[in-house]
C-alpha cells in the first residue's frame, strides 16, 4: 500500500486562511448532514468545496467561494510529495463529534479507484484516530493519530475513524485521481 504522512506542507498563508476564515469567522458555512457515510445515521457538519461527481451537475465545478485556498493546500501536499493528479473528485471539511458511538462505519469514499488525502485542521482528541484497512476490511494496515495540519495520503482503501470523546474533529478531505 502506498501511504504518506506529512506534518509540514501547508503554507503559512493557507494556515492563516484556516485559522481566520474557518475557525474565527462566524460566517463560514457548515451544514448539518444526518449521515457521515452512506446513511449510517451518524451526523456530521460539512462544508462542501467540491461535491462528489455523481452528486454535481455536469457544468458545476466548485460549491464554495473558498475553493482557491483549498486547491493551494492540495497542490502544496502533492508538490512536496511528488504526487500528480488529473482530477479532484471531492473536497470537503467534515466536522465530527461524539455521538454515542465509538467510530464511523468502515467505508471507501468512492466505488472506483481514487487517492485520498485527509488533513486534520484542529487540535483534537488524540484517540480520534483514522484506521486504514486491507481490501477485505479485516486487517488493520495503519492507525494514524490526528495532529493539527498533518496530512495522510493513501490509495483506495477502506477506512474509518474514531469519534472524539470531547470537542470536535475537523478534517479536510480530498479524493482525486
**pLDDT per position as a tens digit, 54-69:** 888 888 888 899 999 9
| Backbone φ, ψ for residue 79 (5° rounding) | -65, -50
> What is d(CA 174, CA 139) in angstroms, rounded to the nearest whole number?
24
Say how many C-beta atoms besides its own lie within 10 A of residue 15's C-beta.
Answer: 14
- Which residues constitute the domain of residue 98? 3-23+31-176
Contacts of 49 (CB under 8 A, 6+ apart): 62, 63, 64, 66, 67, 70, 91, 92, 93
Q: What is the per-residue DSSP string for 46-61?
A: EEEEE--GGGS-TT--
Indicate the pLDDT class of residue 100, thresholds 50, 70 and 90.
confident
Query: Where residue 158 sits, what CATH number does that domain have?
Result: 2.60.120.620
Q: Give me the percent of the chain exceeding a pLDDT of 70.
A: 99
Q: Give 159-177 pLDDT, tens digit per residue.
A: 999 999 999 999 999 999 9
Compute the distance between CA of residue 31 and CA of residue 40 in angstroms, rounded to an integer.
Answer: 17
Bigger pLDDT: 32 vs 59: 32
CB 173 within 8 Å of CB 109: yes
- How many CA atoms lie less than 13 Å away from 50 in the CB half-sphere? 21
Number of domains in the chain: 1
Amino acid at each position: 500500500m502506498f501511504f504518506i504522512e506529512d506534518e509540514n506542507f501547508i503554507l503559512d498563508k493557507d494556515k492563516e486562511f484556516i485559522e481566520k476564515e474557518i475557525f474565527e469567522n462566524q460566517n463560514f458555512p457548515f451544514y448539518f448532514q444526518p449521515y457521515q457515510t452512506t446513511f449510517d445515521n451518524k451526523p456530521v457538519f460539512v462544508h462542501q468545496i467540491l461535491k462528489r461527481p455523481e452528486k454535481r451537475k455536469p457544468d458545476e465545478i466548485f460549491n464554495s467561494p473558498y475553493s482557491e485556498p483549498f486547491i493551494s493546500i492540495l497542490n502544496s501536499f502533492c508538490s512536496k510529495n511528488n504526487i500528480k493528479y488529473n482530477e479532484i473528485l471531492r473536497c470537503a471539511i467534515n466536522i465530527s463529534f461524539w455521538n454515542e458511538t465509538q467510530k464511523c462505519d468502515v467505508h471507501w469514499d468512492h466505488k472506483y479507484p481514487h487517492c485520498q488525502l485527509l488533513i486534520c485542521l484542529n487540535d483534537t482528541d488524540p484517540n480520534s484516530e483514522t484506521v486504514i484497512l486491507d481490501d477485505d476490511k479485516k486487517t488493520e494496515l495503519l492507525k494514524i493519530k490526528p495532529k493539527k495540519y498533518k496530512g495522510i495520503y493513501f490509495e483506495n482503501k477502506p477506512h474509518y475513524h474514531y469519534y472524539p470523546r470531547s470537542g470536535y474533529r475537523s478534517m479536510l478531505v480530498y479524493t482525486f485521481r
